[in-house]
Amino acid sequence: MAARGVGLLTHLPLRAQRSQVLRPIHRLLSCPGTVAADARKEEQSSGSAETGSEDRTPKKRFSEVQKERREQAQRSVLIHFPNKISEKKFLKYLSQHGPINNHFFYESFGLYAVVEFCQKESVASLQSVTRTPSMGTEAAIPFRSRCFHLKLKNASNQTSEQSCITRSNQSPPSSKKLFELLCDAESIDDQLNTLLKEFQLTEENTKLRYFTCSLIEDIAAAYFPDCAVRPFGSSVNGFGKLGCDLDMFLDLDEIGKFSDHKTLGNFLMEFQVKNVPSERIATQKILSVIGECLDHFGPGCVGVQKILNARCPLVRFSHQASGFQCDLTTNNRIALKSSELLYIYGALDSRVRALVFSIRCWARAHSLTSSIPGAWITNFSLTMMVIFFLQKRSPPILPTLDYLKSLADAEDKCIIEGHNCTFVCDLNRIKPSGNTETLELLLKEFFEYFGNFAFNKNSINIRQGKEQNKPEPSPLHIQNPFETSLNISKNVSQSQLQKFVDLARESAWILHQEVNGHPSPSSKLWGLAALLLPSVAKNVSQTKRKKKKPASERVKNLLESIKSSSTENSTNTNGTRTVNTQT
Ligand code: GTP
Ligand code: MG
């Protein structure tokens, strides 16, 4: 996943000045991240951003959000149209097919509109009056999708009444903009919340993700009429950044469910099917055919690659109209369940998403993560590390997975491929944390905690919320929450882990200097901005390399001394920062 916008902060003007008065920010930015109405409600309810005292508005279950979004997507169409158009006329023209629930415009190789009708029949009505273009020398495949081109019959008539169309932004802020926003913030807590606000998926971007899945579902449905294509991963778990990939899986389980209803009387009816030697081969065959369909018939599906020999076979492609890089898998219900778990953790406390976004951006800025598969830490692993860290606070900010399992009722029971994936699905049944630590403190202590973590012997385990002995010798061991014998970070090399540890120690050191009134030499880059700047981290490590002890050891010693004197330290739990003038 690409975290555009944080990689190249080095040559930016140092215009923004740090505010002298550091005030607490009471802004609630936490929300399940998928339903705009919920997000708006939470932004309005001020006063609880920095504490565990959360907004008590009932939060939707993951399955409810998925269902609602899927239905919206199935009633929607995508229209590419010329720049010179009157929005009013455009909507009037479309409403001949039925009332429109909502719409938005965005730019991606041209101007597009996503229009959501109130009824599904309107889509069929629009398709019935749409023609397949004649292509001159080329030939068109007459595939009737929900993606259209709108052409003007009389361009001059339209331009005179052209309205100013507001385009929804689908990209993260530029490095320069982000840097300015961070430096203009009033406290480190404000910086973390600003970063979250700027990078999180917008309502429109989320809609576009569900819509893109439903377009792929239309294609797969030619073979498997009752299938569903569901988004998972960061598109739906609350931790997605603008620009992140779109993970989707072809769910064929609905087909199986259907047959349950037909087992009436003394007979059992089964389909005649083709057998293959294993589940994996079945998956490969299905994905291979769907990959071919996307390549040959899917409007705007380009660069289709069938990566069928991977541990989890997939089809990767770009969807031009939405601009998403898509990964399509099948048989991936555990990953969907992981997404639900992360959604719950992200929605439980407003600090979780802010911290995860900042750590992910920090990791990307220092090339600890990459969009290319390799020996790096993944965003998924980083999220697990933050969750684990928050489970270890006193009092804990997040409950353990075992606790969430203990709250589950019969309806929540979920066994997938023999793995117990049960946990409570109703967020409103989980008691909010009484912990009131600030984001600034949590950020600093995250770096200290993992800067000193005994990775050589301990495993990270969110199921129990405590370190366990490593069952195997991989440098980094993070237990897969559901397939508990697996390590989600098995790919991480010792050198990548060491890089993470060194950077965590350096970042803790930078933040500690700030808290004690010793900002970094380039003092206009403060707080999170200083941490995201690769050159700052490099300078710090270069300075340290000149001295005798290895950087990591000295920073470790320093951290030990910070810990022992932490009670004298200057961060209050209400988010205000005081400067120690004696140092
Ligand atoms: P970004 O795409 O980087 O924003 O984050 P992501 O959470 O979407 O990660 P990614 O696209 O790599 O993976 C998508 C989802 O697959 C994750 O959210 C997890 O649910 C699941 N997943 C990823 N890596 C692993 C892994 O190593 N083990 C398991 N069990 N699941 C994984
Ligand atoms: Mg992803």
Q: Across the strands, what pairs with 77?
A: 115
Q: Residue 538: how many CB atoms within 10 A of its CB?
A: 13
Atom of ligand 1 nearest to the CA of 488: 27
Tokens of 53: 């005292």
Please report the pLDDT score of residue 55 as a whole number: 57
Ligand 1 site, residue 488, Cβ cutoff 6 A: yes
Is cis: bond before 395, omega within 30 of 0?
A: yes
| Minimum CA distance residue for ligand 1 atom 25 | 488
| Minimum CA distance residue for ligand 1 atom 27 | 488
- 124-151 average pLDDT score: 86
Whether 119 shows a pLDDT value over 90: the answer reads yes
Phi, psi of 516 (to 5 degrees): -95, 20
- 90-100 average pLDDT score: 95
Q: Across the strands, what pairs with 302?
A: 318
| Minimum CA distance residue for ligand 1 atom 20 | 335
Please report the pLDDT score of residue 546 as a whole number: 42
Give the closest ligand to the alpha carbon of residue 369. 1
Quote the longest CA-to-CA distance of the chain. Answer: 86
Give the count of alpha carbons within 13 A of 359, CB side only. Answer: 31
Model pLDDT for residues 278-335, shown as the tens digit of each residue? 999 999 999 999 999 999 999 999 999 999 999 899 999 999 999 999 999 998 899 9
Under the banding of pLDDT at 50, 70 and 90, the label for residue 515 is: low
Please report the pLDDT score of residue 59 as a whole number: 87
Model pLDDT for residues 209-242, shown as the tens digit of each residue? 999 999 999 999 999 998 999 999 999 999 999 9
Residue 436 DSSP code: -
Whether 5 shows a pLDDT value over 50: the answer reads no
Please report the pLDDT score of residue 479 as a whole number: 97
Please report the pLDDT score of residue 256 as a whole number: 56
Q: Which amino acid is at 468?
A: Q
Please report the pLDDT score of residue 262 as a whole number: 56
Secondary structure E strands in 242-386: 246-251, 301-307, 314-319, 324-330
Secondary structure E strands in 380-517: 415-416, 419-420, 458-459, 468-469
How high is the mean pLDDT of the chain?
82
Model pLDDT for residues 363-389, shown as the tens digit of each residue? 999 999 998 889 999 999 999 999 999
- 65-94 average pLDDT score: 92
Spatial distance between the Cα atoms of 42 and 55, rounded to a whole number of angstroms: 7
Ligand 1 site, residue 247, Cβ cutoff 6 A: yes
Taking CA atoms, 137 is separated from 43, 133, 300, 389, 555, in Å, by: 54, 12, 20, 61, 68
By mean pLDDT, which of 33-37, 106-110, 264-268, 413-417 is the weakest? Answer: 33-37
Give the closest ligand to the alpha carbon of residue 4. 1
- 106-135 average pLDDT score: 91
Q: Are 70 and 105 in contact (CB under 8 A)?
A: no
Spatial distance between the Cα atoms of 176 and 184, rounded to a whole number of angstroms: 12
Phi, psi of 249 (to 5 degrees): -135, 145
Give the count of alpha carbons within 13 A of 363, CB side only. Answer: 28
Cα torsion through 461, 466, 470, 476, rounded to 10 = 60
Range among 43-52, 346-355, 544-553 rated most confident = 346-355
| Minimum CA distance residue for ligand 1 atom 5 | 234
Q: Across the strands, what pairs with 577?
A: 571
Under the banding of pLDDT at 50, 70 and 90, the label for residue 34 is: very low
Whether 500 shows a pLDDT value over 80: the answer reads yes
99 burial level (CB within 10 Å; 0-12, 13-18, 19+) = exposed
Higher pLDDT, 557 or 338: 338
- At residue 170, the 3 state secondary structure works out as coil
Under the banding of pLDDT at 50, 70 and 90, the label for residue 153 is: confident
Taking CA atoms, 21 is separated from 17, 85, 448, 579, in Å, by: 12, 48, 26, 11
Residue 172 DSSP code: P
Ligand 1 pocket test: pick from 327, 379, 380 the residue with the most ligand atoms within 8 Å of its Cβ. Answer: 380
Q: Are 66 and 106 in contact (CB under 8 A)?
A: no
Atom of ligand 1 nearest to the CA of 339: 20
Under the banding of pLDDT at 50, 70 and 90, the label for residue 83 is: confident
State the distance from the centre of ligand 1 to the C-alpha of 137, rounded, in angstroms.
44
All residues at 6 or more sequence positions from 59 whose CB lies less than 8 Å from its CB, including other chains: 32, 38, 347, 427, 428
Higher pLDDT, 155 or 139: 139
Higher pLDDT, 48 or 541: 541
Spatial distance between the Cα atoms of 49 and 434, rounded to a whole number of angstroms: 13
pTM: 0.83
Spatial distance between the Cα atoms of 88 and 102, rounded to a whole number of angstroms: 13
| Minimum CA distance residue for ligand 1 atom 1 | 1
- At residue 580, the 3 state secondary structure works out as coil
State the distance from the centre of ligand 1 to the C-alpha of 233, rounded, in angstroms.
6
Give the closest ligand to the alpha carbon of residue 380. 1
State the distance from the centre of ligand 1 to the C-alpha of 380, rounded, in angstroms.
5
